[in-house]
Amino acid sequence: MKEGVSGVGPASRQHELVRTADGSATLSWGAEHFHSVHGAVTESTHVFIRAGLEAAGKEHVDVLEIGLGTGLNLLLTWVRCLEGKLSVGYTALEPHPLGSELINRLRHAEDLGWPGLHDSFLERMASGTEEWHQPMGGLRFRRLVAPVQRFEAHGAFDVIYFDAFAPQHQPEMWTLEVFQRMFTALRPGGLLVTYCAKGDVRRAMIAAGFQVERLPGPPGKREMLRARRN
C-alpha cells in the first residue's frame, strides 16, 4: 500500500528504511510508507502476484505496473519467472524513479532469498533508458517515465498492477479517465488489481466498463479490488 503526497515525487523526500512485520524492508518518511508495515512482501504477493499474475492463468503474461516505486512487485514477478512458472513482458510507469542508493539499501533480492539477482535488479531500476532490457530469466523489462494520464496502449496487457499512491494523497491517479485508459490497455479477460478498496475507486472502475470484485485483503486490510475487462 503506497502512501504519498499529491504532486510530490517520492525521490524528492527524505526516506528511512523500515523493517515490516514479515521481515522485509520498505521505505518511510514520518508515518507514511511505500508498503504495508504488516509485511511488504506479504502484501505485494497477496495483491499483485496471487490475485493478478497467477490469476491470469497464462504461460506468458504482459504486465503493466502503475507506480514502480521500490521495484518489489517487479522482483517478485521475476522470481516467479526464474522458478519456471511463466514468462513476463513487464512495462512499468514511474515518473519519479527512486535513486539507486535507496534501492541498494533495501536489499529486496536478499529478502526474497535471491541475492544473486541484486545487481541485475539494480541495473534495471537505475537505468535511464526507456528501451526494453535484454530478456533474463524469463523476464523482459522496460520503465517509462510518462504519467498514466498520458499513457496510450490498446489491448497490450494481460494484468495491470495498479500500485499508485493512496487516493487521499494522489486523487488524480484514481479517476474515471485513468481507469478508462487502463480498460483500453488491457486485452479482453485482462485483470487490474490494487490494494485499494474505496467505494469511489470501485465505482470509477465500473463506470470505465470493468467488472469489479472485492477480494479479501492482505494482513491489515479487510478488502482489495480486482477488476476484469470482459
Rounded average pLDDT per 10-residue block, the chain, 230 residues: 40 74 83 81 97 98 96 98 97 93 93 96 94 97 96 98 91 97 98 98 98 96 97
Confidence at residue 31, expressed as pLDDT on a 0 to 100 scale: 61
Which has the closest alpha carbon to 192: 71, 63, 90? 63
pLDDT score at 4: 37
Q: Give the pLDDT of residue 130.
A: 96
- In the chain, the domains with their CATH numbers are 10-228 (3.40.50.150)
- Whole-number Å distance between alpha carbons of 58 and 215: 21
| pLDDT number for residue 10 | 43
DSSP 202: H
3 state DSSP class of 196:
coil
Residue whose cell numbers read 465500473: 206
CA distance 52 to 73: 11
Distances (CA, A) of 150 to 95, 120, 161, 177, 182: 11, 29, 17, 11, 11
Q: Which three cell numbers stand for residue 86?
A: 511463466
pTM of the predicted protein model: 0.92
With 0-12 / 13-18 / 19 or more C-beta atoms within 10 angstroms meaning exposed / middle / buried, residue 118 is middle
Cα–Cα distance between 104 and 25 in angstroms, integer? Answer: 11
